[in-house]
Chain A
Amino acid sequence: DIQMTQSPSAMSASVGDRVTITCRASQGISNYLAWFQQKPGKVPKRLIYASSSLQSGVPSRFSGSGSGTEFTLTISSLQPEDFATYYCLQHNSYPRTFGQGTKLEIK
């Protein structure tokens, strides 16, 4: 099975900050990676698919990059509504696997 390791597991940042979250795959997954945002008590929402494609309706301050084993989600200028938990998901092979999550909190 492919293991997905996210870092950091938690972080605090301020409104306006640039934030980067990393996801590493235990083996190459090409660009078969998606990023999700989940707010407390809410359903996860897909932000990015195919590593770098922005989901329709998602603000352009979100971007994704990477291929192979290392991927990043970047938020260029944090907004109050961005404080949430973020997950990566590999869909290169079965079983699909999520990263353990990154909780982004207000500093």
Chain B
Amino acid sequence: KAGVTQTPRYLIKTRGQQVTLSCSPISGHRSVSWYQQTPGQGLQFLFEYFSETQRNKGNFPGRFSGRQFSNSRSEMNVSTLELGDSALYLCASSFGLGPSQETQYFGPGTRLLVL
């Protein structure tokens, strides 16, 4: 079974631009969660989608948004990029709502650099 895939793997943007990242979960998984990893703040939860609905949200500004499609694929969007948005963005999928009851499987991440 194929794992979680994220595209693109690397991305360079400039301040003020917007970016869209994509995540394809493991086949049959209905939940997708997004995390931001930076050297300064570590790993932080962004949001979780299940059955096309946002079920949980972390403490990030409204510039960070996401959505989930009927095939469970998910996208996250960051508008008006700031230098501090440079990070590794990780996506994780699980069969049910994670992470307590369900094991989350992580993708390799998208590394975003904002110049």
Bound pair: A and B?
A: no
**Using a CB–CB distance below 8 Å, which chain A residues touch chain B?**
none
Binding site for A on B (CB under 8 A): none
